[in-house]
Chain A
Amino acid sequence: MTGEIKPGIYFWSGNDAIAEGAIFAGCRFFAGYPITPSNEVSERLSWRLPQVGGIFVQMEDEIASIAAIIGASWGGLKAMTATSGPGFSLMQENIGLAVMMEVPIVVANIQRGGPSTGLPTMIGMGDVQQARWGTHGPHEIIALSPSTIQEAFDLTIRAFNLAEKFRTPVILLADEGLSHLYERVVVPDPRDVIIVNRKMAKDPRNYLPYKADDDLVPPMAPVGEGFRIQTTGLTHDERGYPAINAEAQNRLIKRLIDKIRKRKHEIIDYEMYKCEDAEIVVVSYGSVARSAKSAVDMAREEKIKVGLLKLKTIWPFPDEVIFEMAKKVKKFIVAEVNEGQITREVERASRGQADVFWVGNYGGRWIYPEEILDKILEVR
C-alpha cells in the first residue's frame, strides 16, 4: 500500500473530494487553520497526507498557513491550504506574495455567509470579487468553481495543474452548500489524468530567477543546489533584485498579467446547457448552478427558450464567451448567493448587447430552482 487512492467509485462530500483531489494532483504539503465550513478538508488531509508521505501542519493562524505553503512550494512540494471567508481575508497579503514571487500554491476557499463572522455554517458566495481583487496591487488571478462533487475532485487537480503551469496561486472557490453535499465521485486511473509539474531550471550558471521563457513563465530553481535564488515581494528585475522604479514595475507587472491574460484560452472552462436556441441564458456557478439547471429544465417544459452557462473558471472571466452570447440572446439572468458580484461582470462583458438580471440572496440558503424560474417568467 502506498496510500494513493484506488480508481473506482466513492461517496464523498465536497470537502472530502477536494482533499482527495489534492493528493491525486500530487499535493504533499498542507498547512491550515480550523475554520468552518472547510474543516473536513484539513481533517481528511491530516489522516491521508502522512499515508502518502506528505506533511500536514495545523498552524497558529491563516497568515502563517499561507506563508508556510509558499515556503514549502519553494522547497519543491505541491502545497495547499483551505479556509473560508474570514481566513481568506487574512491570507490576501501573502496571495500577493505568491503572485509576485511566482509560487505555485492552491488556496481552497469554502465560502460562507459574510461579511465578518457572518454565517459560519451556511452558504455564501460573496468572496468572488475578493478572490479577484483581495490582494492589493494590479494582478491577474486564477479561480475555479466546482458545482458537483466530481468537479470538486477534478477542479482541485486542475487548480494544481494551473498553479504549476503558470507559477501562480490558484483559488478554488467552493461554497458551504457544495462542501457538505455528498455525491458519487469517479476516481480515474492515474494514467488517464494529466498531472502538470512546474518547469525547473537546470543550469545554475548565469541563472536568472525571473527571466521568463517565451510562455512568459520563468523556470523555477531548486533550493539548495547552488542557483543562488533571489526572490522578494518587492518589485524586482530578472535577477530577482529589488528594482524600485516605475520602469521595472511596469515591465514586471505587465508580464505577470500577460502570462495569464494572453493564455486565458488555456484556462477558461465552462459548460453550456440547452443554449443553442436560447433567448434567455442563466449564468451560474458553484452549487447554485445545480438549481439553475433545474430551473432551465422547468422553463423548457413551459416552452420557454432558456439555456444555462455554467462557469467552471471564474477568473479570468470569460468576457468573449459572454459577449458572443450577448449578441444572440436577449437576456442574461445571473443566479448567485451574493449581491451581484458576477452579475456586474456579465453586464460589463455583454457591453450593452443584452439585458442582465440578478436573482439570488445574500447568503444563508441556496437559491431554489423556483426562484430562478420565477425570474425567467418575470423577464421573458
Chain B
Amino acid sequence: MAIVSGHPTEKYVRIDRLPHIWCPGCGMGIIFNAFARAIDELGIDPKKIVVVSGIGCSGRASGYWAYDGFHTTHGRPIPFAMGLKLARPDLHVVVISGDGDLLAIGGNHFIHAARRNVDILVILVNNFNYGMTGGQVGPTTPEGTRTTTTPYGNYLESPFNVVWLAAASGAVYVARWTVYHVRNLTESIKTAMQMRGFRVIEVVSTCPTDFGRRNRLPDPLDNLRYLKEHAVYKKNPDPREADIIWGKKFVIGEFVKIEGKETFGDRIRRIIQIAQSRLRKSGSH
C-alpha cells in the first residue's frame, strides 16, 4: 500500500505495522493521532513515554505507536502500568484501553488506582460496546440501544457515568471529549501529560461497524455528526451531570483538575525514607 511520507507524527508510528486492524470510520485513528500530536507539541522525549494497553480494539494502539509498548491481558493494563511506573518513576506511563477493558473486567483496578492516586494517564476510549468481539453490550452501552447481546434493545443495563466514577474514586484530572472534538482532545492530553497523579480522559468514540450499524448510524460520518450534535461543551461542569443518554445532549469538558495531590509513588518513597531512618536509629532490623 502507498504510505504517506512526511506526516508530522510519522516518527511516533511503527510504519512497518501498517495497515492497522481498525475499521474504516473507527475513532481510534483520531485518538492515535491526537496523542502523538500532543506529545510532539509538548516536546516530550518519546523514549520516556510508555504505553500500556489491555485487550480490545483500542488496546492495539500500544503496538502501533513507536513508544515502548506493552499489550497486556484483558482488564489488567492499570495494575501492570502501576508496577512499571513505581519501578520507573522517571517515565510517563500512559494506559490506553476501552470501556469494556477498563470498566467491566478491569473496573476494580480502575477505582483502586484512582483511590491510590497512581501517577498514570488513562485514555479511556468509550465506543459504547465490545467492538473486537462483535458488538456486545458493555458497561457504557446507553440504555435503549441495540447490541449483539441485547437484540431486544438494552433495557437491561444502566451505563456507568465514567466521569463521575473517576471523580468519586479520586482521580485528579477528569475530562471527556469526543473524537469530533480533536483540538480539545489534543489540548486536554497536553494538560494531563503535564500533571501528576491518576488522570482520566474519556474519549467518546465511534464504532460504525458494530455499535453504529445497529443503531441507525452505519455511515462513519453520521457517527461523527451524532457526536457533534449531541456533545455540549461546558466550563467547569459537574461530574454528576455527565450521564450519557442516547438521543440526548451530553456534557464534555474538564470536570476535575486538582493540582499538587501526593501520588502513590510519592507516598511509597516517603515510607521508604521513614523505614530507613528508623533502621539507622535502631541500628538493627
Which residues of chain A are near B48, meaning CB under 8 Å? Answer: 224
Q: Which residues of A contact B274 (CB under 8 A)?
A: 50
CA distance A47 to B275 in the complex (A): 8
A141 → chain B, closest Cβ, in Å?
17
Q: Produce 1/0 per residue, B266-282, CB < 8 A to A.
A: 00100110111001100
Q: B280 near A228 (CB under 8 angstroms)?
A: no
Whether a CB of chain B sits under 8 angstroms from the CB of A60 is: yes
Task: Specify the chain A residue showing the minimal Cβ separation from B17.
Answer: A241
CB distance from A13 to the nearest CB of B (A): 16
Return the chain A residue nearest B84 by Cβ: A71
Residue contact B279 to A51, C-beta cutoff 8 Å: yes
Bound together, the chains give a CA A155 to CA B112 distance in angstroms of 33
Interchain CA distance A233-B60 in the complex, whole Å: 12
Option from A29, A47, A61 in Cβ contact (under 8 Å) with B108 = A61
Q: Which residues of A, 40-57, contact B by the 8 Å Cβ criterion?
A: 47-48, 50-51, 53-55, 57
A54 to B81, CA, bound (A): 17
Q: Name the residue of chain B whose CB is nearest to the CB of A77.
A: B87
Per-position 1/0 for B234-267, Cβ under 8 A of A: 0000000000000000000000000000000000
- Chain B interfacial residues counted at CB < 8 A: 44
Interface size on A, residues (CB 8 A): 48
Q: Which residues of A contact B159 (CB under 8 A)?
A: none
| Nearest CB in chain B: distance from A58 CB, A | 10
The stretch of A62-70, A156-164, A279-287, A305-313 that contacts the partner chain: A62-70
- Checking B88, B109, B275 against A50 with a beta-carbon cut-off of 8 angstroms, the contacting residue is B275
B86 CB contacts on chain A under 8 angstroms = 29, 55, 57, 68, 72, 75
Smallest CB gap from A234: residue in B: B71
Please indicate the chain A residues that have their CB under 8 angstroms from the CB of B108 in the complex.
Answer: 60-61, 64
Q: Of A5, A59, A230, A234, which is within 8 A of B79 by CB?
A: A59
A315 to B82, CA, bound (A): 31
CB pair A67–B79 under 8 Å, yes or no, is yes
The verdict on A1 contacting chain B, using a C-beta distance below 8 Å, is yes
**Which residues on the B side are within 8 Å of A269 (C-beta)?**
none
**In the complex, what distance in Å separates the CA atom of A6 from the CA atom of B204?**
56
A242 contact from B63, B81, B84, B284, Cβ within 8 A: B63
- Assembly CA distance A1 to B75 (angstroms): 41
Q: How far is the CA of A156 from the CA of B71 in the complex (A)?
A: 29
What is the chain B residue whose CB lies nearest that of A231? B70
Contact of B69 among A61, A75, A226, A229 (CB under 8 A): A229
What residues on B are CB-neighbors of A232 within 8 Å?
63, 70-71
Taking the closest CB of chain A, its distance from the CB of B199, in whole angstroms, is: 18
**Chain A binding surface SS class:** mixed
Residue B32 interfacial (CB < 8 Å): no
Using A67-B73, A68-B79 as known contacts, say yes or no to A224 and B88 having CB atoms under 8 A apart.
yes
- List, in ascending order, chain A residues with CB within 8 A of B80's CB: 67-68, 70-71
Interface membership of chain B positions 187-207, coded 1 if the CB is closer than 8 angstroms to chain A and 0 otherwise: 000000000000000000000
Smallest Cβ-Cβ distance to B271: which chain A residue = A50
Of all chain A residues, which has the CB nearest B73?
A97
Question: Nearest Cβ in chain A — how far from B281, in angstroms?
Answer: 9
Contact present for B79 and A227 (CB under 8 Å): no
Name the residue on B nearest A72 (C-beta).
B83
CB neighbours of A48 from chain B (8 A): 285
Inside 8 A of A55's CB, which chain B residues have their CB? 86-87, 268, 272
Jot down 29 A-B pairs with beta carbons below 8 A, ordered by A.
A1-B276, A3-B276, A31-B79, A50-B274, A53-B272, A54-B272, A55-B268, A57-B86, A64-B108, A67-B72, A67-B80, A67-B83, A68-B82, A69-B83, A70-B72, A71-B79, A71-B80, A71-B81, A72-B87, A74-B84, A74-B87, A75-B86, A76-B87, A76-B88, A226-B47, A227-B68, A228-B69, A229-B70, A234-B71
Nearest 3 A-B pairs (CB), nearest first?
Answer: A75-B87, A71-B83, A50-B275
Beyond the given A63-B76, A224-B47, A241-B17, could you list 8 further A-B residue pairs with CB under 8 A, ordered by the A residue number? Answer: A50-B271, A53-B276, A60-B108, A64-B76, A74-B70, A223-B68, A234-B71, A242-B63
